[in-house]
Amino acid sequence: MRRFEVGAVVAFGITTAMGFVGGYIFHAVYGEARSAAVDAVYAAQEAQRVLQAYEPINTNLSMYRELDAATSLVDLATLRRKHKDATLRSIEYFERSVEKLQLPGDRRLAQPFLEEAERVRAELQN
């Protein structure tokens, strides 16, 4: 088995690193790397918008099916309690998410929603 000198391994590593850096600089200068990244971000945002637009359909359909299945006042009381508890859990989750925000702009954006969430919590707990 052939053995390489340490110098050959180091030279090969430096050559590989220089090739990588050269390719990166070439793509950065001519904008190809940046446009590929931007295209990926836009595609992800479009997919996110499609999923968010479809979400209310699933939510409303599941709520309709639950209401349609209710046949007594006990069933309706159970549904009311279930949705009330789910709303309170969602408020708690939202508050924890806002606490993790680090950018001041995001915190300012979330502030009116926090106030509304507190109002909803007070309404549901009465």
| Domain-located, residue 114 | yes
| Domain-located, residue 102 | yes
Q: Domain range holding 108?
A: 72-126
pLDDT tens column, 4-43: 566 766 777 788 888 777 777 777 777 555 567 777 777 7
- The Cα–Cα gap between 39 and 54 comes to 23
Q: How many domains does the chain have?
A: 1
CB 88 within 8 A of CB 121: yes
CA neighbours closer than 13 Å in the CB half-sphere of residue 115: 5
- pTM check: above 0.75: no
| Domain-located, residue 9 | no
| Domain-located, residue 79 | yes
| Domain-located, residue 61 | no
pLDDT tens column, 65-119: 998 999 999 999 999 999 999 999 999 999 999 999 898 888 899 999 999 999 9
| Domain-located, residue 58 | no
